A and B are shown apart, each in its own frame.
Chain A
């Protein structure tokens, strides 16, 4: 009982503060959050995923991954016109700073929607993620995305907290060449090994998994992955994310 009360006490100021902010018109502050209001309109308040789940969450993802994506959209390896247009006039150094801003946010995730897929499909999904399918040259996803699937610094994102639609469309886009990553594009190779049924299965299973307590990406993987993945060089003179 006492424990609970103390907990409540600890978070109370945050609640009260949040309520106050919601009421008063937000005041101007010279911050990265203010600078990136153009992003959070779609990506949800503070970048925690948009209302319909299609606008992916960006906060808390590894900075190197976010940076690579911003370059991908700006340089035409991923396509979303409304976003590319915002990124066009920005420098590499500033894009890195934006990536680091969102990466540093540590915000709670919503609970996943209940799984609606057939048990057999979910089983196939889980097997692919955990063990891969050596017969079809498909490595286990956990090799790179981490045992807890929360990603690995600096460039590999987590796979939880994403909607089924988003996962389906991203893996589909890699298969058709609509989404590309820096060479060597390991995900393109893996996505092409997946059959359409496999894509549906991993998307269904991943989208239904709750997040572990610690949602942060692991600093290092237990074993170096079998396939190499590419990444952009960091702007000169900048710290590695």
Chain B
């Protein structure tokens, strides 16, 4: 009996030791003190650029709040996490942090006091950021005005709220890493890979998350539904979804820079990425990202498609289209260049996963107002005008018209998404 207990205890200890080991591996000891001198101007400017490339402000700023003062709610399947105050306030922000502590947050996902951080903060991607880039971002953040705003406590459900659960999760899904240049590839490709997989954290949305909220393979960019948002970030590896393999490099750059390209317009969460982040990036960096994305190993889109719309539904859909949509998108779904995206031959329309279509029709939207497209045209929301049934019919219609060959969307699928609109 004693032996059994001893064996069980030993087993538990081993697992705990393993979890602890996995959580702290790859960490350097911290010896440096918070810097006493103001940061150098050059480093601040470089840091400002990198902070935009990493889109730190989007999460770390509340609606209408002071930039970087935190408080924005990030909804997850496990509850709500609130982004932290990362202004240099000494009591409530990162004013008392050292450069190594900041690096450890990005690289290892641990806070100044040693607390494990929730992966709503995409450090699984940021872990690839170099120390030099992290230091420059730290310098930039030290240069912004401090704001005294205490962090909002997270509202996560038990057991996800515990450090122990987080430690187990990290042992399973997170390992700190460094970006290593692939010698077989060009310098441009490597720069692109670093930005897409690391600082740009494209995979945080464009990769499927498993039931525990982990990206199955952080870096495969094979597409995934963004938790709690009813938006689908399409696969960047599949030419049938959002793969860019057969796009001209200049068109990819244009999409990331202005939000519109000949063959697509960014929507919803992707519009935010372009608005706050990629539009500000240097053309050379955008080109590098395009080169990397175009060279991703091709996959074919997964899920088998639903059956096409029946005749009655198709007729009703066509009528609704003529009445509500043709005015902008054209009788043949041809759109208006520079104003309204075409719907014929548009991958956003024929994606197997129709969540984004329902979102667009219910909520409408403008492409982001960027330097490259400062005065965009808008689409009205139809949530107050069309029933679930109508939306299903019109969306099914455009998925099957003008050479488009995608399956119908059910009324049920629409009603499931309606709740999330306009909150």
Partners in one complex: yes
- A residues whose Cβ falls under 8 Å from a Cβ of B: 25-26, 28, 30, 34-39, 41-42, 74-77, 80-82, 85-86, 88-91, 93-94, 97
Q: Which of B344-388 contact A (CB under 8 A)?
A: 363-369, 374-381, 383-385
Contact residue among A26, A38, A97 (Cβ-Cβ distance under 8 Å from B379): A38
Question: Does the CB pair B364–A38 fall under 8 Å?
Answer: yes
* Cα A75 to Cα B61 with chains together (Å): 11
Q: A35-B377, A41-B380 are contacts. A86–B364 as well, Cβ < 8 Å?
A: yes
Q: Are A37 and B367 in contact (CB under 8 A)?
A: no
Task: Contacts A81-B423, A82-B422, A89-B271 given; indicate if A35 touches B375 (C-beta within 8 A).
Answer: yes
In the bound complex, do residue A94 and residue B378 qualify as a contact, i.e. CB atoms below 8 Å apart? Answer: no
What is the CB-to-nearest-CB distance from B96 to chain A, in angstroms, rounded to a whole number? 30
Q: Is the CB of A97 within 8 A of B375?
A: yes
Given A35-B376, A94-B375, does the pair A75, B63 have CB atoms closer than 8 Å?
Answer: yes
A93/B374 in contact, CB under 8 A: yes
**A81-B364 Cα distance, complex, nearest whole Å:** 12
Taking the closest CB of chain B, its distance from the CB of A1, in whole angstroms, is: 43
18 A-B residue pairs with CB within 8 Å: A35-B376, A38-B365, A77-B64, A80-B422, A82-B364, A82-B381, A85-B364, A86-B364, A86-B365, A86-B366, A86-B381, A88-B272, A89-B272, A89-B376, A90-B368, A93-B374, A94-B369, A94-B374
Question: Taking CB as reference atom, which chain A residue is nearest B363?
Answer: A85
Name the residue of chain B whose CB is nearest to the CB of A27: B327
Residue of A37, A77, A91, A93 near B380 (CB, 8 A) is A37
Top-5 shortest CB links A-B: A75-B64, A38-B378, A81-B422, A41-B380, A82-B422
A38/B380 in contact, CB under 8 A = yes
Q: Determine which of A37, A38, A77, A91 lies in contact with B369 in the assembled complex, contact meaning CB atoms within 8 Å.
A: A91
What B residues does A80 contact at CB under 8 A?
422
Q: Is B187 an interface residue (CB 8 A)?
A: no
Given contacts A82-B384, A82-B421, contact A90 B369 (CB under 8 A): yes
Tell me if B339 counts as interface (CB < 8 A to partner A): yes
| Nearest CB of B to A23, in Å | 14
Q: How large, as a class, is the contact surface on chain B?
A: 20 to 34
Bound-state Cα–Cα, A35 to B326, Å: 16
Contacts of A75 in B (CB 8 A): 63-64
Tell me the residues in window 22-66 of chain B with beta carbons closer than 8 Å to chain A beta carbons.
62-64
Selected contact of B383 from candidates A30, A38, A77, A82, CB within 8 Å = A82
Contact of A25 among B327, B368, B421 (CB under 8 A): B327
In the bound complex, CA of A77 to CA of B379 (Å): 24
Known contacts A35-B375, A38-B366, A90-B369, A85 near B422 by CB under 8 Å? yes
Extra A-B contacts (15), CB below 8 Å, given A41-B380, A91-B374: A35-B378, A37-B328, A38-B378, A39-B378, A75-B64, A76-B62, A82-B364, A85-B363, A86-B364, A86-B365, A89-B275, A89-B368, A90-B369, A90-B376, A93-B374
A38 to B325, CA, bound (A): 12
- Chain B residues with CB under 8 Å of A94's CB are 369, 374-376
**Nearest CB of chain A from residue B423's CB, rounded to whole Å:** 5
A89/B367 in contact, CB under 8 A: yes
Report Cα–Cα, A36/B377, bound state, in Å: 7
How many angstroms from the CA of A97 to the CA of B63 in the assembled complex?
22
Contact A37 B421 (CB under 8 A): no
How long is the Cα–Cα vector from A216 to B119 in the complex, in angstroms? 54
B336 beta carbon closer than 8 Å to chain A? yes
Q: Is the CB of B365 within 8 A of A85?
A: yes
Given known A77-B64, A86-B365, A89-B272, contact A34–B423 (CB-CB < 8 A): no
* Complex CA–CA separation, A146 to B351 (angstroms): 55
B-side contacts of A88, CB under 8 Å: 271-272
Give A35 to B374 CA distance when docked, in angstroms: 12
- B120-164: which have CB < 8 Å to A? none
Instruction: List the B side residues contacting A81 at CB < 8 Å.
Output: 421-423
Interface centre among A39, A77, A91 (most CB of B within 10 A): A91
B339 and A28: CB pair below 8 A? Answer: yes
The answer to whether B272 and A41 touch across the interface, beta carbons within 8 angstroms, is no
For the complex, give the distance between the alpha carbons of A36 and B375 in Å. Answer: 10
Residues of B within 8 A of A77 (CB): 64
Residues of chain A within 8 A of B369, CB atoms compared:
89-91, 93-94
Q: Which residue on B lies nearest to A72, using beta carbons?
A: B64
* Nearest CB in chain A: distance from B267 CB, A: 9
Across the interface, which residues of A come within 8 angstroms of B367, CB to CB?
89
| Measured CA separation A81–B421 after assembly (Å) | 8
Residues of chain A within 8 A of B275, CB atoms compared: 89
Q: How far is the CB of B369 from chain A (nearest CB, A)?
A: 4
- Which B residue's beta carbon lies closest to that of A92? B369
B380 touches A90 (CB 8 A): no
Q: Are the C-beta atoms of B378 and A37 separated by less than 8 Å?
A: yes
Report A-chain residues with C-beta under 8 Å of the C-beta of B376: 35, 89-90, 94
Closest-CB distance, B371 to chain A (whole angstroms): 9
Q: How far does the alpha carbon of A195 sit from the alpha carbon of B322 in the complex, in Å?
A: 50
- Docked Cα-Cα span, A35 to B339, in Å, equals 8
Q: How far is the CB of A62 from chain B (nearest CB, A)?
A: 22
CB closest residue in chain A, given B379? A38
Interfacial chain B residues near A38, Cβ < 8 Å: 364-366, 378-381
- Minimal beta-carbon separation of A45 from chain B (angstroms): 13
CB-CB under 8 A from A42, the residues of chain B are 380, 384
